[in-house]
Amino acid sequence: MTMTRSPIGQSTPRVDGPAKVTGTAQYTSDFHFPGMLYAVPVEATIANGRMVKLDTAAAEGMRGVRAVFRRGNIGKLFRSVLEPGFVGICDERRPPFEDDVVRYYGQFVALAVADTFEAAKAAADAVRVTYEADKPNVDTDLKPDDDPDVIATTYSQEHRLQSQRGDADGAFASAPIKLDQTYVTPTETHNPIELHATTAIWDGSMLTLYESTQGVVNLRSVLAQMLGVPKENVRVISKFLGSGFGGKLFPWTHSALAAAAARQLGKPIKLVVSRKMMFQSVGHRPRTQQRVRLGATFDGKLVSLQHDYVYDRSMLDAHHESCGEATPFHYSVPNLRVTFGRARRNVGAATDMRGPGAVPGLYATESAMNELADQLGIDPVKLRIINEPKLDEGLGVPFSSRHLLECFEHGAQKFGWSSRTPAVGSMKREGATLGWGMAGCAWVAARFSAEASVELRDDGTARVACATQDIGTGTYTNLAQLASHRTGVPLGKIEVALGDTLLPPGPLSGGSMATASVVPAVLAAADAVIASVLDIATVTPRSPFATRRREDLAFEDGRVFVKAEGASSGVSFADVLRRANLRLVSGSGRSEATFGDANPKLSTHSFGCHFVEVTWQPEIARLRVSRVVTVIDAGRILNPLAGRNQIEGAVVMGIGMALLEGTTYERRSGAPINSSLGDYLMAVNADVPPIDVHFLDYPDKEINELGARGIGEIGLAGFAAAVTAAVHHATGVRVRELPVKIEDLLG
């Protein structure tokens, strides 16, 4: 089928852009309902201990206050479990108020509900809690707890011996060149501009939840279980999000609180999590401590790679930060061992944050490779070329599509890497010292299961529907592009429906997998509706094709025609429908999941590299990232405009990860003390130079017929290692604990 006007691969402005910039796009907290009440949670002010008294009398007597909920009057809340189809996922399984034990600072211990937000906040502040407090453990030095060899994590079983081949210890011991270093990444907090928010409305036994979530279908599953109702009774709506970065992948306790309180009071309830609460009770990237040992020959061939990492976790929960995810396949090395351990701390549940696992993991392993290159006196790009694998040596299967060396070549050329002089402090520009660094990156590519429907209508318009969501990444536009690609209906005549569990079940907006996941479903749905149109064309008495056989007809660019007579001879599908007196026909399609496949025939990942320049002015202790070239091999890029935007955003986050971000827990209270946008530093415009993004654009047909793998998280992977290498090149200081602080650089 030829696609003369396909928008696939064309830079396509967001179809939802006008709604956003004109303010008509409604975000979760923009919804208002008659009689709606406001809920504000009461946060624990200790991180370890138990509540011995909860005095709500003063709060309950305040003006406008409807109720103060606690264990005993909130109604029953149950636990949830995983369900088939990658739903039922939740990082904090304990329902709120289940017991009187406080395990982290900011744990919700009560909930004030009032006529206004201000009255609810005042009431929450007036609740008096008496605690028996123990000393919290927020120790930053991570020693693994005594866990079994195989552990159940949030959504998988994991072997603590994550990967092994050859004799890593023996080969390390006898290697002529050795490197043994430990790299630390701090707790990082998701700070999407849109706060977590829930509005819960019961209509009899039916619950509607307006949510800011990266997964409406999963949230329905968890909330239905927690409330003890059939999932058919719960509808979750999430039309527009101010992003999530993983923090909104899975439900948090505030959603259950809002739903339970609304059930008790019989009124709509809105609960918006505060920025401070965002640091406490809705997830974070856990702290990691990663020991990397490399053994190599004098000419740079790796002979041994050991990656042993520890991350912290909350007292009850089991988020897995898989820092070793990319380690087994990223380099060719005959002897390898990857292990992990966990250390319990009095902190809230950790969760996925953009590039979970691989992002801190590649920071460590790519940093080690950069240090090894310096130790050997080999260019870091060359060291990577020397150790490029021919296949995924961890799984023992070929890569579906890996063009990492071409990324290096392209990136080095665009950056001008060949003019780098390796000696520390040897490069200058306008009186400042330059540092150049680079690193490679990888991120898993897979599909979640997905269903979609495509409708064609008698006015020439189309509708595509899928219960996935657009977290700001461009999913509305992708769905429109896919439907247009197959049906020929122009983008402007396509309605996209997503973010609603009434629609065909769609994937999480996570793992950079939403796009890859919906491609087969939408294309199959379009094929199904086209087949129906052709059937209708042959059975409608007034159709020009009434005497034709179904197999003689074709559909192209929105037109039905007789194959032998060519496309110009046909009529539009709208014409076919009108003659049949049909308003619309609909088709549905499905994508099967590949994520979690234990024995894949091919290894599917995206790859890329970053080249980074920093500018160092020691006399004023000023360090800036001054230039970035990033090259990404992510299969076919469906929308280069949105794709570039994703990578630029990831690089901005990478600058923050390298130089600014980190959540600090105060030792006595266990509170995350920099819990505001003023105190938690993130990269802002002034920190960010122009970012030069390139895509290789090799379709990966293993993932879907268009060859689109997925982008977003890959742009953050490896970036911090390129920055710390550049910092070393400029200053001679090797920083192995992120973020790089100015005081690290002052001799």
For ligand MOS, give the closer residue by CB, 249 or 292.
249
DSSP per position, 304-369: EEEEEEEEEE-SS------TTSSHHHHS--SEEEEEEEEEE-SSPPP---SSTTHHHHHHHHHHHH
For ligand MOS, give the closer residue by CB, 614 or 738.
738
The nearest distance, CB 498 to ligand MOS, in angstroms, is 16
715 binds ligand MOS (CB under 6 A): no
499 binds ligand MOS (CB under 6 A): no
Q: Per residue, what are the HEC states of 80-105? A: CCCECCCECCCCCCCCCCCCCEECCC
Please identify which residue in the block is written with the tokens 């202790």: 621
Residues 6+ apart with CB under 8 A from 199: 28, 29, 31, 33, 36, 209, 210, 258, 268, 269, 270, 271
296 binds ligand MOS (CB under 6 A): no
Residues 6+ apart with CB under 8 A from 439: 362, 366, 367, 369, 370, 380, 609, 610, 718, 719, 721, 722, 725
472 binds ligand MOS (CB under 6 A): no
Asked if 45 contacts 279 with a C-beta cutoff of 8 angstroms, the reply is no
The nearest distance, CB 535 to ligand MOS, in angstroms, is 40
* Only segment of 318-326, 352-360, 384-392, 663-671 that touches ligand MOS (CB under 6 A): 352-360
* Only segment of 157-165, 310-318, 353-361, 600-608 that touches ligand MOS (CB under 6 A): 353-361
Q: ∠ CA(558), CA(591), CA(470), 5° rounding?
A: 75
The nearest distance, CB 575 to ligand MOS, in angstroms, is 44
* Only segment of 348-356, 456-464, 499-507, 542-550 that touches ligand MOS (CB under 6 A): 348-356
Asked if 373 contacts 380 with a C-beta cutoff of 8 angstroms, the reply is yes
511 binds ligand MOS (CB under 6 A): yes
The nearest distance, CB 510 to ligand MOS, in angstroms, is 3
Enclosing H/E stretch for 254: helix 253-265
648 binds ligand MOS (CB under 6 A): no
Q: Report in angstroms the alpha-carbon separations of 535 from 4, 90, 394, 452, 574.
A: 24, 45, 49, 21, 14
192 binds ligand MOS (CB under 6 A): no
For ligand MOS, give the closer residue by CB, 94 or 354.
354
353 binds ligand MOS (CB under 6 A): yes
Which listed residue (7, 192, 348, 356) binds ligand MOS by CB under 6 A? 356
657 binds ligand MOS (CB under 6 A): no
How far apart CA 187 and CA 192 sit, in angstroms, is 16
Which listed residue (154, 198, 214, 603) binds ligand MOS by CB under 6 A? 214
Residues in contact with ligand MOS, counted by CB under 6 A, come to a total of 12
Burial label, 274 (beta-carbon count in 10 A; 0-12, 13-18, 19+): middle
Which listed residue (192, 268, 499, 510) binds ligand MOS by CB under 6 A? 510
Helix (H, G, I), strand (E, B) or coil at 302: strand
713 among known catalytic residues: yes
Burial label, 498 (beta-carbon count in 10 A; 0-12, 13-18, 19+): buried
358 binds ligand MOS (CB under 6 A): no
Q: ∠ CA(20), CA(25), CA(27), 5° rounding?
A: 115
Q: ∠ CA(508), CA(510), CA(513), 5° rounding?
A: 90
Token digits of residue 458: 């008698």
662 binds ligand MOS (CB under 6 A): no
For ligand MOS, give the closer residue by CB, 243 or 290.
243
* Only segment of 41-49, 349-357, 610-618, 629-637 that touches ligand MOS (CB under 6 A): 349-357
246 binds ligand MOS (CB under 6 A): yes
* Strand-strand pairing, 161-165 and 177-185: unpaired
352 binds ligand MOS (CB under 6 A): yes
For ligand MOS, give the closer residue by CB, 70 or 354.
354
Residue in the shown chain whose Cβ atom is closest to ligand MOS = 246
For ligand MOS, give the closer residue by CB, 41 or 507.
507
For ligand MOS, give the closer residue by CB, 353 or 445.
353
Q: ∠ CA(140), CA(146), CA(149), 5° rounding?
A: 120
For ligand MOS, give the closer residue by CB, 202 or 363.
363
Which listed residue (89, 127, 224, 249) binds ligand MOS by CB under 6 A? 249
Helix (H, G, I), strand (E, B) or coil at 48: coil
For ligand MOS, give the closer residue by CB, 510 or 649.
510
The nearest distance, CB 719 to ligand MOS, in angstroms, is 15
The nearest distance, CB 642 to ligand MOS, in angstroms, is 16
The nearest distance, CB 300 to ligand MOS, in angstroms, is 34
Token digits of residue 72: 């005993």
The nearest distance, CB 446 to ligand MOS, in angstroms, is 11
710 binds ligand MOS (CB under 6 A): no
For ligand MOS, give the closer residue by CB, 304 or 473.
473
Enclosing H/E stretch for 657: helix 640-659
354 binds ligand MOS (CB under 6 A): yes
Annotated catalytic residue within 194, 661, 702, 713: 713
How far apart CA 709 and CA 443 sit, in angstroms, is 10
For ligand MOS, give the closer residue by CB, 96 or 507.
507
The nearest distance, CB 728 to ligand MOS, in angstroms, is 29
Our CA dihedral for 159, 161, 164, 169, rounded to 10 degrees, sits at 180
Q: ∠ CA(69), CA(72), CA(78), 5° rounding?
A: 95
How far apart CA 78 and CA 98 sit, in angstroms, is 9
284 binds ligand MOS (CB under 6 A): no
* Strand-strand pairing, 559-562 and 571-572: antiparallel
**Site residues (CB under 6 A) for ligand MOS?**
214, 244-246, 249, 352-354, 356, 510-511, 713
| Residues with catalytic function | 713
